Amino acid sequence: MSTLVKFATAAALALAATTPALAADTIKIGVAGPHTGDLAPYGLPTKDAAEMLIAEVNAKGGINGKQIELLFVDDQCKPEIATNVATKLVSEGVNVVIGHVCSGATKAAMGIYKGAKVIVISPSATNPPLTKSGDYPNFYRTIASDDDQGKMAATFVIDKLNAKKIAIVHDKGDYGKGFADFSKEAIEKSGKAKVVMYEGIQPGAMDYTAVIQKLRKEGADALIFGGYHPEASKLLALMNKRKINVPFIGPDGIKGDGFLKIAGKDAEGVYATGPMDVSKYPLNVKAHNDYKAKYGKEPGTFFDQGYAATLAALNAIKVAGGTDYDALGKALKSSVIETTVGKIKFDARGDAEGVGFSVYQVRKGAFVEVK
Amino acid sequence: MDSEYFFELLCGGLVKGSIYALIALGYTMVYGIIQLINFAHGEIYMIGAFVAFIVSGVLTLTGYGGPTVLLLAAVIAIIYAAAYGYTLEKIAYRPLRAAPRLSPLISAIGASIFLTNYVQLAQTPDFLPFPELITDFDFMEPFSRYVSSVDLVILVVTTLTMIALTVLIKYTRVGKAMRATQQDAVMARLVGINVDRVISATFIIGSALAAIAGVLIASRTGQINSAIGFMAGIKAFTAAVLGGIGNIPGAVLGGLVLGIAETLGAGYISSAYEDVFAFGLLVLILVLRPAGLLGKAVKQKV
Amino acid sequence: MTHFKRSLVIGLWFMFLALPLMVVRVNTLNHEIEWRWANMLWLGFCAFALAWFWRASTERRAARQALGVAAGRPLLAKLSWAQRLSDDPALSRRLLLIVAAAALIFPWVVSTSQNFYHVNIMVSALIFVVLGLGLNITVGLAGLLDLGYIAFFAVGAYTYALLARNFDLGFWTCLPLGGIMAMFFGIVLGFPILRLRGDYLAIVTLGFGSITKIVLENSEELFGGAAGIAGIPRPDLFGLVLDGREKSLYSYYIVLALVALTIFVTNRLKNSRIGWAWMALREDEIACVAMGVDMARTKLSAYALGAFWAGLVGVIFAAHNNFINPDSFTFMDSAMILSMVVLGGMGSILGVIIAALALKLLPEYLRAVAEYRMLVFGAVMVLMMIFRPQGLISNLRRKYERAPADESDGHGK
């Protein structure tokens, strides 16, 4: 047995001695998110954004005289894969990660990053406890948290649509149910309206008739839906077939071309909360133009946030003068930077100040901001 | 008021149940003849819906419209679903006819995974909008709170299909050969029935029914993707077992019972537990009647 | 020439099948139709070529076999290496030692203080090895088709997560508790349904698997809902503080020890009285009951023991990942474990281990071809069943008859 231990130690030492030599000359940034599978449309735009921006920065000589190397990992939005790819990034000596995209996967991966002191900047993980619990001091995000979004939807339904009996339906997922719960809480707190129905539906089921019948029976005058676009459009199609006309409001998971495409004319008049309109910011215009020049189409969901996260990371590295964990944290929390989502600065818990939500409505096949 | 709500739910359950029944028929016919759970049957349903989507897309974009599109899309979808079902049996099940009982089941699970990913790669993993092939009828306006126009079409088509199937099985040569094979495959072979051909015919008919269900349900929900077959398949299979697998009226009854139970459970208790009602009912019925609602208990002889 | 004609027909048939799905793609957004005729030609050509080769090779084999029979040679004289191995105790013991040594030093060879990705992957794979071996008891030995096996895995994982969160119980206390809890569930669920016939059992277990997942998803207060439970403590080692790599190594050795234990126990079970009862029941229920085997108790014990291993390894899964949510316990996972058992060869321990490692590790390292991964996986399942239905390593039964003197090639004692 003792020879075995000796041999093992020797092997480990030999390997340990060879690896660090590679690390010194580049700054490594990880980009994690779903790059394959059915949630890939939410992950790929961030990947494209980081790739584009880093190529630009590297062409200009990099940061602090160092080139930046991007490492892409695919977590398919699955927690167990996320921990594996997080380990991989940590193993490769990454100091900053742009990602992950889904809240569940992010939470799973944070355990690894926290121990390894890696800064994580997510473009899209909106789950409130990520910042509010205080468990993850190394977590930052360039998108507002779900509870803000839920509150926004609730206030809008109560004050602008004058709804008194509100129905809430969610897809039982982390994201959808979170949104639904925060809306419910806000409605109950306001005291001005009542939640008459609160139901979870099975994503992928072929029929939601029972839920719709219940909606009519309860006489709801607004429906808040927490979930993604396939279920939203299925609900809308069934509602329209049954001639039920109740204002429908969803989270940013339905605010995109995917929803408009599937729901078609059923989408008309639907409300959705989404990140504030940022398309006028000069940096945003530039990023979109670059993207269009390169890929010949409009960028997808979370592109702006991904771009902003990469900008924030680069700025922090520049200000901190390196990749020291504490210096990076200080830099992120102290500097105000111009990004594709406006002027932002991170607060003590990692939420970006200066980003928020507004309400949109589908009018003539496009989302228009409701003033 | 409350009885009205009950009636609304009942109608919803009936529509859902008749779709389950259409898919369940394919499961039950195949099981009746070769005792195989055709796990890939849900994928045939999905392929039917996809072919209808493609055909109607091409026709609409080249300037056709109206009922021609619906009819052509449905017919081509049925032809292709049948062709895929036939090929599936030839490749994945026929070589395994003498194999141990679990082998064809694993092969079926493999085929199901393969077909889902085949469509996903050849087409797209995204959800796609299914065109509204069945337009609203004006005379349905007053009843729209119970059944929509599409629902009516679903109920009528399902009923007609089932009548046609019954006639086919009761009175035609193929049908008689099927029943003979179901009772005793060896004996059927001895009296000159080409059992291989009967099995192929079963797959073709079952797949055609699945395609009909696919087109109907897709025009109701207005969307499809490559993963819709899985859940529909599992539910239809549950319906088939509920009614007594291998038993054709049983599949219809099982589908309706399942659809109504799910809808009532969702309507009165909570839709979050819809699948729990479905599977709970299944367990309950199997514990009380181990061969399903209409299945005959097979006495074991020693 | 009929050869050629038949192959041609097959090629054309596949071109016909490919026509809508592989050729036409309708873009509903910009109202365009994409025609990809090349796909159809490729598929037609491949189908034709395959059919041609297939016919040619079957013909040649048939000719050779006919020749062999004529020469009086037995057809099945050749034994695979695996079977030869299991017949030679000295050789198999030596191989076992080598494998064990390799498994022990593996993490030291592939990991450094920074890079322990491969160790983590291996831990995930070994977890599935234990799951495969556990299900092997239920399906492989006793022939009870269980399509909801992942539920017991979930029971173990949640048992640990909840006990650790609410009562601060440690990993080592929870490890047996998770197993016992899963076993308890197995008995409670198994009791009413074990008198069902095989295929009915399949759908009911599938239903139980789905119900478990839905209940976990829906009850937020109790099980954390869809958001899952985060911050599950890693296994503790006498209160020592471990860094990331050491934690992974520790998990690795724990799960490796569990694999060894599972192998040992299933091996002993296989050759025990209850093991024979399982296999007898699998082969012929009626005859078995007529011989005086208590059917309910025998089946229930197989079901419960299978569940026990899933529960044990569920605890390790939760501890290793720090985080669990219902998404890890889907029907696809149950199907995956079942495939491991069947592809490996039902009842064969070595086969199940190889299959489990292959099914979990290949996708992990084939991320480059991730798109085609599942397509190939499905096709392999079908092809395996057609060409090697007994699995990678078929489970040789112990033979008790003496080999006839004239066929003396030494094996099969």
Mean predicted lDDT score pLDDT of chain C: 81
* Strand order across the A271-275 sheet: A194-200, A165-170, A222-226, A248-250, A271-275, A357-363, A366-369
> How long, in residues, is chain C?
413
Indicate if the pLDDT at residue C367 is higher than 70: no
User: Residue A282 class from Cβ within 10 Å (0-12 exposed, 13-18 middle, 19+ buried)?
Assistant: exposed
Cβ-defined contact of A206 to B15 (cutoff 8 Å): no
Of B5, B125, B148, the CB nearest to A242: B148
Chain B CB contacts of C31 under 8 Å are 61
Average pLDDT rounded to a whole number, residues C388-403: 61
Chain B contact probe: residue of A209, A245, A254 with most B CBs at under 10 A: A209
Quick: pLDDT tens for C166-213.
Answer: 888 888 888 999 999 999 999 988 887 777 776 778 888 888 898 898
Which among A199, A230, A266 is the nearest to B270, CB-wise? A199
- The answer to whether A266 contacts chain B (CB < 8 Å) is yes
Confidence of residue C396 (pLDDT cuts 50, 70, 90): low
Contact state of C196 with B103 under an 8 Å Cβ cutoff: no
Instruction: Provide, rounded to the nearest whole percent, the portion of chain C with pLDDT above 90.
Output: 14
Q: Which residue from B minimizes the CA distance to C197?
A: B290
Å between B20 CA and nearest CA of chain C:
16
Q: Which of A47-61, B111-125, C81-95 has the lowest mean pLDDT?
A: C81-95
Say whether residue A264 is in contact with chain B using an 8 A CB cutoff.
yes
Q: Most confidently modeled of A84-88, B21-25, C221-225?
A: B21-25
Which residue range(s) make up the domain with B41?
2-288
Report residue C50 as tokens: 């395959």
Separation in Å, CA B56 to CA A190, A261, A370, C370: 49, 16, 36, 32
pLDDT of residue A14: 44
- CATH at B214: 1.10.3470
- Confirm if B46 and B212 have CB atoms less than 8 A apart: no
Confidence tier at C410 by pLDDT (50, 70, 90): very low
Residue C405: CB atoms within 10 Å: 6
Q: Which residues contact C129 (CB under 8 A, 6 or more apart)?
A: C259, C262, C352, C353, C356, C357
Question: Are the Cβ atoms of C28 and A261 closer than 8 angstroms?
Answer: yes
From chain C, pick out residues whose CB is under 8 angstroms from the CB of A9.
Answer: 108
**What SS3 state is found at B63?**
coil
Closest CA to C275 of C284, C265, C263, C286: C265
Q: What DSSP element (H or E) covers B187?
A: helix B185-190
- Show Cβ contacts of residue C309 under 8 Å, excluding neighbours closer than 6 positions: C130, C131, C133, C134, C137, C179, C262
Give me the pLDDT at residue B294, please: 83
For chain C, the structural domain boundaries read 2-69, 81-387
Nearest to C382 among B51, B92, B273 (CB): B92
**Residue B34 to residue B185: CA distance in whole angstroms:** 9
- Pairing outcome for strands A352-353 and A342-346: antiparallel
Q: What is the pLDDT of residue C292?
A: 82
Query: Does residue C158 surpass a pLDDT of 90?
Result: yes
Pairwise CB contact (< 8 Å): B113 & C204: no
Q: Looking at residue C27, what is its pLDDT? A: 77
DSSP secondary structure letter of residue C20: I
Test A210 with B9 for CB contact under 8 angstroms.
yes
Write the pLDDT tens digit of every residue in A275-330. Answer: 787 888 888 888 999 898 888 888 888 898 999 999 999 999 988 888 889 999 99
**pLDDT tier at C81, thresholds 50, 70, 90:** low
Is position B298 within any domain?
no
| Length of chain B as a residue count | 302
- Does pLDDT of C99 surpass 90? no
Q: CB-based contacts of B268: which residues, under 8 Å, 6+ apart?
A: B9
Minimum Cα–Cα distance from C341: chain B residue: B106
Complex prediction ipTM:
0.86
**Cβ contact, residue pair A38, B126, below 8 Å:** yes
Q: pLDDT grade, residue C312 (50/70/90)?
A: very high
| d(C-alpha A15, C-alpha A18), whole Å | 5
Q: Which residues of A touch C (CB under 8 A)?
A: 4, 7-9, 11-12, 15-16, 19-20, 36, 74, 78-80, 83-84, 87-88, 90-93, 103-104, 107-108, 111-112, 115-116, 127, 135, 172-174, 177-178, 200, 202, 257, 261
Confidence of residue C1 (pLDDT cuts 50, 70, 90): low
pLDDT in tens, C263-307: 889 888 888 888 888 888 887 778 888 888 888 888 888 889 999
C243 touches chain A (CB under 8 A): yes
User: What gap in Å lies between CA B103 and CA C285, rounded to an integer?
Assistant: 19
Q: What is the largest CA-CA distance in chain C?
A: 78
CA B255 – CA B237 distance, rounded (Å): 9
Q: Chain B closest CA to C322's CA: distance in Å?
A: 27
Q: Provide the number of structural domains found in chain B.
A: 1
CB pairs under 8 A between B and C: 170
- Which chains have 3 or more CB–CB distances shorter than 8 Å to chain A? B, C
Chain B residues with CB within 8 Å of chain A CB: 5, 8-9, 12-13, 15-16, 19, 125-129, 136, 144-145, 148-151, 217, 220-223, 225, 227-228, 230-232, 235, 262-264, 266-267, 270-272, 274-275
pLDDT in tens, B142-193: 777 778 888 888 999 999 998 999 999 989 999 999 989 988 888 899 998 9
What confidence tens digit (pLDDT) does each residue in B240-296 have? 988 888 888 899 999 999 999 999 998 888 888 888 888 888 888 888 887 788 877
Whether C324 sits inside 8 A of A79 (CB atoms) is: yes
The alpha carbon of residue A69 and the mean position of all alpha carbons in its chain are separated, in whole angstroms, by 23
pLDDT digits (tens, 9 = 90+) for B225-240: 888 888 888 889 889 9
CA B132 – CA B130 distance, rounded (Å): 7
pLDDT at residue C139, as a whole number: 86
Taking an 8 Å cut-off on Cβ atoms, the answer to whether C381 and B106 are in contact is yes
Q: Which domains does chain A have, with CATH numbers?
A: 7-145+280-355 (3.40.50.2300), 147-277+358-369 (3.40.50.2300)
Q: Tell me which residue in C108, C121, C217 faces A84 most closely, judged by beta carbons.
A: C121
Low-confidence residues in chain A, pLDDT < 50: 1-23
Q: Among partner residues B125, B128, B263, which is closest to A209 by beta-carbon distance?
A: B263
Asked whether residue B60 is domain-assigned, the answer is yes
Contacting residues of C for A79, CB less than 8 Å apart = 228, 321, 323-325, 327-328
> Looking at domain C81-387, which of 2.60.40, 3.40.1360, 2.40.50, 1.10.3470 is its CATH number?
1.10.3470
pLDDT tier, C361 (very low <50, low <70, confident <90, very high otherwise)? confident
Q: What is the pLDDT of residue B271?
A: 84
Question: What is the nearest CA distance from B1 to chain A, expressed in angstroms?
Answer: 9
